[in-house]
């Protein structure tokens, strides 16, 4: 259980807000995305295999790993901003922007450089076409979730970072300046506007206005948790069998999304909201429930690797692409077994290694600078 600290501190001494079960959740969200991007093949025998088709159908579930990250971002960012305001009577907005810049930009722009400069050169060297879809200025200014999708796996996941950055740009201003006293209106209004946008049929999976309700749901959960609402009290004391029932229903809805989402336009527009509420329940249950079936912090492997999730998420797509090509050239076989197991296991292991190296030998330098702008430490 996480207890809100009320002790007054000086700006030089950081308070700590720590949710020990969220690293494990991050890892499982990444792993779902990793599986959704795996098992690629151009072999017709593999593509037509019932086993491959069934696995790819199940892996559609992995796209909701990104939705989970959005909800989690909304929860954490909102909670930390309110904790900072609670202790220092204000939100230091410039410092917030510097923390986000130092956490997100270095690896992001490194991948943009690789995707637009080094990757085309590499393609030329092996005799392949270096043509690349996508406007580099969209990537530089974080609006790449609109327009043409990239023609390379290197840039495949950066659309979600664009949405995150757009959220980070406006959220502290809304939280700290506009809605200081009526934040419930902020959360509920954004959720309602996003739903109406999806219901109108204008939205899409990578459209910011369609996705922003995920962050708002996370922010609403942070608001309720920070102020000790009755909902948090009920989650704290929820019997284990109720928790298991909610998990069963939630995952059942995820796996059955195509069936109930096809009922009506209202159902399709509601899907994202239903799933984000379920993801918020997972976050709150892990943070506050006293009778959880299992706490993520008890699972050492996902908890350990959860702190590398940003690098894992950003780098796994190019790793899958590169390792898949290398494995196929070495083995000389694109059979179903190699696609499902050999290539996937190699890509997963290399993803862990590359993310570890990126974190300790590249990202950590900027993270040390980031701490200088932290008023509330995670």
> Tens-digit pLDDT profile for the chain (378 aa)?
444 443 333 333 445 678 999 999 999 999 999 998 998 888 888 888 888 777 777 776 677 899 999 999 999 999 999 999 999 988 999 999 999 999 999 999 999 999 898 888 877 777 777 666 688 999 999 999 997 777 777 898 999 999 999 999 999 999 988 777 789 999 999 999 999 999 998 777 889 999 999 999 999 999 999 998 899 999 999 999 999 999 999 998 888 777 766 668 888 889 999 999 999 999 999 999 999 999 999 999 999 999 999 999 999 998 998 899 888 888 877 788 888 899 999 999 999 999 999 999 999 999 998 878 876 655
Output DSSP code: residue 207. Answer: -
Is residue 259 within 8 A of residue 230, CB to CB? The reply is no
pLDDT at residue 304, as a whole number: 96
Q: Which of 106, 145, 123, 55 is nearest to 363 (CA)?
A: 106
User: d(Cα 290, Cα 232) in Å, to the nearest integer?
Assistant: 11
Domain ranges of the chain: 16-36+60-377
d(CA 65, CA 59): 11
Name residue 153's beta-bridge partners.
none
Contact, 25 vs 68, CB < 8 A? yes
Q: Contact, 316 vs 367, CB < 8 A? A: no
Whether the Cβ atoms of residue 213 and residue 194 lie closer than 8 Å to each other? yes
271-308: b or e for each residue (b if 16 or more CB lie within 10 Å)?
A: bbbbbbbbbbbbbbbbbbbeebeeebbebeebbebbeb
What is the H or E stretch that residue 376 is in? strand 376-377
- Note the pTM of the prediction, 2 decimals: 0.91
The rounded distance, in Å, linking the Cα atoms of 134 and 146 is 10
Give the list of residues 6+ apart from residue 118 with CB closer than 8 angstroms, or none.
Answer: none
Q: How far apart are CA 359 and CA 311, in angstroms?
A: 7
CB proximity list for 189: less than 8 A, separation 6 or greater: none
């Amino acid at each position: 259980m996480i207890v809100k600290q009320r002790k007054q501190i000086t700006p030089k001494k950081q308070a700590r807000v720590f949710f020990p079960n969220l690293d494990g959740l991050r890892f499982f969200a990444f792993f779902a995305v990793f599986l959704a991007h795996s098992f690629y093949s151009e072999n017709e025998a593999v593509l037509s295999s019932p086993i491959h088709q069934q696995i790819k159908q199940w892996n559609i579930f992995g796209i909701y790993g990104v939705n989970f990250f959005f909800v989690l971002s909304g929860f954490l960012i909102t909670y930390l901003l309110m904790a900072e305001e609670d202790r220092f009577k204000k939100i230091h907005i410039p410092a917030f922007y510097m923390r986000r810049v130092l956490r997100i930009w270095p690896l992001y722009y490194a991948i943009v450089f690789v995707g637009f400069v080094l990757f085309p050169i590499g393609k030329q060297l092996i005799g392949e076409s270096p043509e690349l879809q996508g406007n580099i200025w969209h990537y530089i200014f974080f609006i790449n979730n609109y327009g043409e999708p990239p023609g390379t796996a290197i840039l495949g996941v950066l659309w979600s970072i664009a949405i995150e950055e757009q959220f980070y740009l406006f959220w502290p201003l809304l939280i700290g300046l506009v809605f200081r006293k009526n934040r419930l209106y902020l959360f509920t209004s954004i959720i309602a506007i996003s739903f109406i946008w999806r219901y109108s049929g204008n939205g899409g999976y990578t459209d910011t206005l369609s996705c922003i309700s995920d962050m708002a749901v996370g922010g609403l959960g942070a608001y309720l948790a920070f102020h000790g609402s009755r909902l948090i009290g009920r989650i704290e004391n929820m019997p284990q069998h109720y928790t298991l029932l909610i998990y069963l229903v939630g995952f059942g809805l995820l796996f059955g999304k195509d069936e109930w989402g096809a009922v009506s336009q209202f159902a399709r527009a509601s899907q994202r909201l239903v799933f984000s509420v379920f993801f918020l329940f997972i976050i709150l249950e892990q943070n506050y429930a006293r009778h959880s079936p299992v706490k993520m912090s008890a699972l050492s492997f996902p908890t350990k690797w959860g702190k590398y999730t940003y690098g894992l998420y950003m780098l796994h797509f190019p790793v899958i692409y590169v390792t898949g090509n290398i494995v196929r050239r070495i083995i000389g076989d694109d059979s179903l077994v190699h696609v499902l197991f050999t290539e996937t296991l190699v890509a997963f292991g290399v993803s862990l290694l590359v993310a570890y190296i990126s974190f300790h030998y590249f990202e950590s330098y900027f993270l040390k600078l980031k701490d200088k702008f932290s008023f509330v430490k995670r």
